[in-house]
Chains A and B, each alone.
Chain A
């Protein structure tokens, strides 16, 4: 068929105008505050897959209704059904590819071009396989359903399938079948989980295979038995692959890429950086050394090794992160049991604020809570020994659920006066 006829008579051009127009409108709301890390950007761009696959699926259903309306199969076509389907769906497939690439562009920042690495091609390929599976399913449903109902059903189905699984807490593995399992990825120390990508690819491949068999096979037992067998095996396999992941779609990044500076013992905390952060290594090392020195002056031992999750360092943030890495990052195991009380939680915010002020952060910026910042300021007015005692006493309550915190500065100054 002539290319002009193919494009003129099909729905791809109109769908392209609407989809690309919509994507560009959507991109105007992008404030561009993401992590400049290729894996993160590629994984986040899968978020738009729901819309792209819904539109492409609806377009494929439209093409199928056109072929059914034209009763092409009754005119003794010289080309087989798969060839006809492939030709009519080619513009839609190209639109899907363009959608995936535009979605990547929307989530990218100009600053990304300076960063080593490239978009994760596996993620893009898996995303495109999702779009292709919607096209295949749409073509199938469009040929079966009434003419007016095929495209809208594919639009709504694609929209629900693309966005709803990620909102459901259970089944948690469902989000790994539609390509949305890696939407929470990726911090600098993570990459998308290969299992999630594998489950999505397997599921899409199953749908595409079943659709191909049903389009190609006109008569015979192959029409029913084979597609059913393929569908059941494929879906079961993809669920089996996705099940152990639960809600996580992230995998630890290759640790050999970390570059650690400094010798560690006796000097500043060892700063370990990912390739995206190498550019600002001097700033990271200088400021965390400053924090380490101030902690040592206050009588505390800074932590051995510190990592950061931002690409571009900011002095206050580096100081705060280095200082507060002395505290555990989450509540202890005893606090996570249902019905348990954790009295140390208020101590944790006060300790955070005090540590931040020790390393030189302004009291106003040292904590999210004004109360904690003011308490920490009062504690900073105490003599050094009393401050250290306050820290050690309350650290015990942060680590152990049975210890109550003793946050009031007056009890330490009284004790100090009584002791001297």
Chain B
């Protein structure tokens, strides 16, 4: 077990996840402004919605540290175990974020947890369909893309830019859960 944890950089994962969930309430009112086109209004994305990219990238990196060829001859179903570990990480994030939202009154807490799940799902899907090294870069590109093209007139996000939606948006929650579910399914199956 210890070897597995060391091989998969578990400490780094836990540290970045906790750091993200601790820093997010501190930056609750900060937002990154996006560009104001002439005659248009400035939009902005709250910083806590962009922060989840960092722990997700570290999680994706950690789970890809071991070469896939060793999974083929493994006795246990390693992809399923990896998917279970990711599901556990997701559940822990949701629990801590719920706690934060209730105890410290951090309304964006749900959105932070939703974004962790959504980014993770997206990254896992990309890692399955393309090479593992494209996963973290794609995840990091999502908020950048959000800032560039995802905010519509009035500064509010388009319906398809789910990371920028505030807490409680059903569309964004569905999108994130769908992505997470399919990402876990993708991680749990072997590439043929």
Do residues B61 and A29 form an inter-chain contact, with CB atoms below 8 A?
Answer: no
Please, how many angstroms separate the alpha-carbon atoms of A320 and B47 in the complex? 42
A148-B32 contact, Cβ under 8 Å, with A26-B149, A30-B37, A31-B40: no
Residue in A22, A65, A164 whose beta carbon sits within 8 Å of that of B145 in the complex: A22
A149-B58 contact, Cβ under 8 Å, with A22-B145, A26-B149, A58-B140: yes
Please, how many angstroms separate the alpha-carbon atoms of A80 and B146 in the complex? 40
Given contacts A18-B141, A51-B148, A167-B32, 6 further A-B contacts (CB under 8 A): A34-B39, A58-B140, A148-B133, A163-B147, A167-B31, A167-B33
Q: Kindly state whether residue B137 has any CB partner on chain A within 8 Å.
A: yes
Q: Kindly state whether residue A405 has any CB partner on chain B within 8 Å.
A: no
A163-B38 contact, Cβ under 8 Å, with A54-B144, A156-B53: no
Q: Kindly state whether residue B60 has any CB partner on chain A within 8 Å.
A: yes
B140 contacts which chain A residues (CB < 8 A)?
A: 58, 151-153, 155-156
Do residues B147 and A156 form an inter-chain contact, with CB atoms below 8 A?
Answer: no
A156-B64 contact, Cβ under 8 Å, with A31-B38, A33-B39: no
Q: Kindly state whether residue A117 has any CB partner on chain B within 8 Å.
A: no
Do residues A159 and B32 form an inter-chain contact, with CB atoms below 8 A?
Answer: yes
Q: Write the residues of chain B forming the contact surface with A, with a CB cutoff of 8 angstroms.
A: 30-40, 44, 47, 50, 53-54, 57-58, 60-61, 64, 132-133, 135-137, 139-141, 143-145, 147-149, 153
Q: Kindly state whether residue A174 has any CB partner on chain B within 8 Å.
A: no
Please, how many angstroms separate the alpha-carbon atoms of A32 and B39 in the complex? 7
Can you report 8 A-B residue pairs in the complex whose CB atoms are below 8 A from each other? A18-B141, A22-B149, A29-B37, A44-B38, A148-B135, A149-B61, A152-B53, A164-B30
Do residues B30 and A31 form an inter-chain contact, with CB atoms below 8 A?
Answer: no
A47 contacts which chain B residues (CB < 8 A)?
A: 35-36
A368 contacts which chain B residues (CB < 8 A)?
A: none
Q: Kindly state whether residue A396 has any CB partner on chain B within 8 Å.
A: no
Do residues B32 and A48 form an inter-chain contact, with CB atoms below 8 A?
Answer: no
For B35, the closest partner residue in chain A by CB is A47
Do residues A167 and B44 form an inter-chain contact, with CB atoms below 8 A?
Answer: yes
Please, how many angstroms separate the alpha-carbon atoms of A58 and B57 in the complex? 14
A146 contacts which chain B residues (CB < 8 A)?
A: 61
* Chain B at the A interface: SS class: helix
B60 contacts which chain A residues (CB < 8 A)?
A: 148
Do residues B148 and A26 form an inter-chain contact, with CB atoms below 8 A?
Answer: yes
In the complex, how many residue pairs between chain A and chain B have their CB atoms under 8 Å apart?
Answer: 96
Do residues B37 and A31 form an inter-chain contact, with CB atoms below 8 A?
Answer: yes
Q: Kindly state whether residue A25 has any CB partner on chain B within 8 Å.
A: yes
Q: Kindly state whether residue A379 has any CB partner on chain B within 8 Å.
A: no
CB distance from A310 to the nearest CB of B (A): 14
A151-B137 contact, Cβ under 8 Å, with A30-B37, A33-B38, A156-B54: yes
A155 contacts which chain B residues (CB < 8 A)?
A: 137, 140-141, 144
Residue in A23, A51, A147 whose beta carbon sits within 8 Å of that of B147 in the complex: A51
Do residues B39 and A163 form an inter-chain contact, with CB atoms below 8 A?
Answer: no
Do residues A159 and B136 form an inter-chain contact, with CB atoms below 8 A?
Answer: no
CB distance from A206 to the nearest CB of B (A): 24
The 7 closest A-B pairs by CB, nearest first: A152-B140, A33-B39, A34-B38, A155-B140, A31-B39, A148-B61, A152-B136
Q: Kindly state whether residue A166 has any CB partner on chain B within 8 Å.
A: yes
CB distance from A164 to the nearest CB of B (A): 5
Please, how many angstroms separate the alpha-carbon atoms of A48 and B36 in the complex? 10
B58 contacts which chain A residues (CB < 8 A)?
A: 149
Please, how many angstroms separate the alpha-carbon atoms of A167 and B136 in the complex? 27
A62 contacts which chain B residues (CB < 8 A)?
A: 137
Please, how many angstroms separate the alpha-carbon atoms of A107 and B133 in the complex? 35
